Amino acid sequence: MSLDPATVRRIARLARIGIDESDLPALQRELNGILGWIEQLNEVDVDNVEPMVGTGHAALRMREDVVTDGDAREAVLSNAPDAAGPYYTVPKVVE
């Protein structure tokens, strides 16, 4: 599998990362290197093997349905670059 420059540009756009056209060849090389390395895994025959998603007791622990959190607006808004009263604010987004 090999990525062309257009795909690299698209991946960057989907991830909202601004990149310079001049950086494209280097990024393309790096990403293709990573993909090529990962592709070695295809050499392993995993037919009839259940996918492993974790180690040990691989099941989700559940919590009871009780309210234990919230009412912490100051903490929640503490890292906001911009806020107005009780709200986060962001540059206007209207579709």
Instruction: Please state the φ and ψ torsions of residue 83, each to the nearest 5 degrees.
Output: -145, 155
* Amino acid at the residue 83: A
Residues 4-43: x where in contact with other proteins by CB under 8 A, - otherwise, as a string: ----------x-x---------------------------
Indicate whether 68 belongs to the interface with other proteins (CB under 8 A). Answer: yes
Indicate whether 76 belongs to the interface with other proteins (CB under 8 A). Answer: yes
Indicate whether 48 belongs to the interface with other proteins (CB under 8 A). Answer: no
Closer by beta carbon to other proteins, 2 or else 79: 79
From CA 10, how far away is CA 17, in angstroms rounded? 10
* Amino acid at the residue 43: E
Q: Tokens 């090529």 sit at which residue?
A: 36
